[in-house]
Amino acid sequence: MDFILMRKHKQTTMKIDGVTITVDAGVRKLIRQFHELPGVETYHSCQGHRGATDAYVHFGGPGACQLLVPLAQMILSEHWTTCQNRPVCRGSFGRSVRLEVTGTGMVLRWDPKDYRRLLLMIANLRKSFPVGHE
């Protein structure tokens, strides 16, 4: 059986609502953005490994359900824009990002190469909602 050894990611601490948490350095900005949305909290995250769609943020809270439709629309519209006038489109941003609904919240997954575009997507999403907790 072959095992792939994954390097540990650099960790960093940040203060959210007065509590110090440890996250992968590569998702710090995204975690901050999620916590700026009203009623949204993050539970687990990983910055992922280049070339694999394994980066993720597991989130929930009382405000998380309000994100479901806007997030889905942003993911789909990004895919449609990228694939316009192509009968088959693979490898676009919309294909790298997945939104999953679980019994414990929602999970946003992406390929790490799309991290900056994901930050922009969440920043645009934040404009639709009033300022949340810091």
Q: What is the CATH number of the domain that holds 43?
A: 3.90.1150
* Residue at 131 is within a domain: no
Note the pTM of the prediction, 2 decimals: 0.78
pLDDT the model gives residue 28: 95
d(CA 96, CA 112): 9
| 75: containing domain | 11-81+91-126
Structural domain count, the chain: 1
Q: Which residues of the chain have pLDDT under 50?
A: 1-5, 91-93, 132-134
Residue 97 makes CB contacts below 8 A (sequence gap 6+) with 75, 78, 108, 109, 110, 114, 118
* Residue at 133 is within a domain: no
* Residue at 132 is within a domain: no
* Residue at 5 is within a domain: no
